[in-house]
Structure 1
């Protein structure tokens, strides 16, 4: 019997500092998130970050927390239920970090008689700190606890025409009557070294302005290329004029070089340059979360207004949008009917 495991990032159990600290500890100690040797990672995370950041992060989570719980969890559950209505096989939901563990999700499917799983990381683009950390953990869990389970993983879907169409339709719908001067495509940032580490050619990814637009096998695992490609394909689909849209990267941490340009500085620059009406979309996320609801919709708007901007439109993630639910359901049902 077949089943599907949807996997998203995760969330603290509550916006209290104690729960946030526990969540951040698990997240930041992942060797694919902060990819430095364990002693240095432990010293940084446990010795510095977890002594200072949980209180501030808890305050940010409190700003966006819903009555039903964490927005990311609630939205992911709505997506799961929506897909379940379009397919006959079991659809389970898990998080890479937090109490809704991947092990629990796999066990839920096994308890329902599933012996073949489609692992569905809810990330359009591949990255070490998102897709890869999920697939590596699932491989470990399979070997240790589920040796008889057959598991197949959905690859990055950033350039699938039907995904681009759904994303473009959503952007167009939310920009109805808005007429922004500029649209900013903001993606979650990663350190530049992550891009080079996953360069299968060991020489292509120079992050020099040309490598991402030069055909290469490296693009299959290049987060930067995949982000830029989403922007390009959506701009093409919506017939956006050159000079009216930009790509940027948010949420950097530490002092190492991260992908640029940075979102906060880009918003600041646009305001200073006289942009009065802008919109921002976050295609690295399929579910609204702390990074979109607080960092972009609150902090980003505040920066824009401080720099003289007037209208700041935040386009929601695809969340449980009807077209998105139908698209994922179609992909899943196609997989079901393959064999």
Structure 2
């Protein structure tokens, strides 16, 4: 009888102690692939995202989610001919590639899982249940979709925390080690790659038709609300990401602007200029061609695809003599997947070598009760 690769794999990992293994949890938004899921997706997104910066009462979520679903349906199905987002598919390619890179170095001690903030069957709770079932005790949380935003990454942590709370039983927590990679907005290798992709594209498609000063470059970031109930909304990181990529290009190509991909919600002040305004500004400065490059998103999604298509479509009406180039996200570019794996290396090493955490959740409850009791006992004395 020939052992299947699955059996061999099981045999090889049964020899490893749980403390010698790390589960890397890659986190992205996930994106709807069937139209029935729109309302559910929107409700999750409203709960996690919008609630942080818009004064919306929770009872309002289900009806508003259904209403938004009608708009989504119109946009994706009618305006864009049954568009199905490639996001989840690309994210899986990223996961495979990163796992392969990491296993070349760490072998079976490291496994990469993906979780989507808003999409079943990969919601963080479902994936962490699986990680626990497979006997992992050490986790590296790694948000991957949005490069710049501590806000979006914070949502990943929020969901992980909720899930871990639901998965806790007994006096000792099953998680013995935890690390987190918040963002890679200032990683030189990523910044170099962004600049190089733009330069290569210009050489390929525009360099022999336009002077460098006639080529407008819009570096697109994930839009951020200015007010997010005191949450840091990622504006600083995004701004810095833009400045650092711009610095690598500006001497050769003088016309560069940030373009924020905002969710234009009423009552909320969003980062400016949005990508369309950025394009108009560059045209006014004499650009004869425009390149739209997403730097704030690592994975293609409806914002980088449909929203940018809409913008180009609007601009073409008024400025038909301009050349427009829409560039893809970095996606599963081999060089990108390699660097993502490398950024995880030191954290994996830390997790493998660190003393196991021992956390007893029941102690927190005991301590709280004791302090509470203590305060009441002494209440009378504070006034003397």
Tell me the TM-score range normalised by the shorter chain. Answer: 0.7 to 0.9
Q: CA deviation at 1:326?
A: 0.4
TM-score normalised by the chain length of structure 2: 0.73
Contact 1:304 1:312 in 2 (8 A): no
Q: Which has the larger radius of gyration?
A: 2
Q: CA deviation at 1:96?
A: 0.6
1:22-53 CA distance string (max 9 Å, x none):
211111122655534552x543x434x33432
Give the equivalent residue in structure 1 for 2:23. Answer: 3
Contact 2:220 2:294 in 1 (8 A): yes
Is 1:265 the counterpart of 2:277? The answer is: yes
**CA 55–35 in structure 1, closer or farther in 2 if over 3 Å, else same:** same
Give the equivalent residue in structure 1 for 2:132. Answer: 110
Is 1:189 the counterpart of 2:209? The answer is: no
Give the equivalent residue in structure 2 for 1:302. Answer: 313
Q: Would you identify which runs of 4 or more consecutive aligned residues in structure 1 move more than 6 Å?
A: none
Give the equivalent residue in structure 1 for 2:72. Answer: 57
Is 1:30 the counterpart of 2:48? The answer is: yes
1:205-243 CA distance string (max 9 Å, x none):
xxxxxxxxxxxxxxxx56222122112211222344574
Measure the CA separation in 1 of the matches of 2:257 and 2:81: 26
Give the equivalent residue in structure 1 for 2:174. Answer: 148
Q: CA deviation at 1:97?
A: 0.7
TM-score normalised by the chain length of structure 1: 0.82
Give the equivalent residue in structure 2 for 1:91. Answer: 112
How many residue pairs end up in the alignment?
307
Give the equivalent residue in structure 2 for 1:229. Answer: 240
Which structure dedicates a bigger proportion of its chain to helix?
A: 2
From 188, 197, 200, the equivalent of 1:161 is 188
From 176, 180, 183, the equivalent of 2:203 is 176
Measure the CA separation in 2 of the matches of 1:136 and 1:278: 38
Q: CA deviation at 1:300?
A: 1.6
Partner secondary structure for residue 303 of structure 1: helix
Contact 1:183 1:278 in 2 (8 A): yes
Task: Supply the RMSD in Å over aligned alpha carbons.
Answer: 2.4
Give the equivalent residue in structure 2 for 1:121. Answer: 143
Contact 2:148 2:222 in 1 (8 A): no
